Amino acid sequence: EHGAWGPNYTFCESHVCHGEELPFVFGSGEAAGYSMTAAEDDLAKAMMMFWGEFAATGDLTAMGWPRANNATDVALRFDVETALGTKVVHSYREAECQFWDRLGYDFLK
């Protein structure tokens, strides 16, 4: 594994840093001096497809992106470990959300 911004950004190892998705969204890895693996290239293609569709239509449900709502608590995860670079996940970051719920935080107010 290697970071999309190169070896001088060791603080980004094991997690995603701000803006690290940009070479994937715009297919600009090579321009940034980053050589993508085959799996990362597939992920970039999936991300470009989803971002392009959203820019064109504003709606990704036809492409399998689940509509967000509190009842189903689903999200779409982009990663290199799935066939098309995406997978639907349930209860995404539930522990972190429960922390804020216990404090009484309500972002819908």
* Amino acid 56: pLDDT: 92
**CA–CA gap between residue 76 and residue 79 (Å, rounded):** 10
Mean pLDDT of 90-101: 80
Q: pTM for the full model? A: 0.65
Q: What is the pLDDT of residues 22-64, one digit of tens each?
A: 888 898 888 877 788 888 888 888 889 888 988 999 888 777 7
Q: How confident is the model at residue 7 (pLDDT cuts 50, 70, 90)?
A: low
Q: What is the pLDDT of residues 58-74, one digit of tens each?
A: 888 777 777 777 777 77
**CA–CA gap between residue 79 and residue 21 (Å, rounded):** 11
**CA–CA gap between residue 49 and residue 38 (Å, rounded):** 17
More confident residue, 9 or 48: 48
More confident residue, 34 or 11: 34
Q: What percent of the chain has pLDDT over 90?
A: 4
**pLDDT score of 83 more than 80:** no
Which tokens is 29 given? 């890895």
Cα 7 to chain centroid distance, Å, stands at: 22
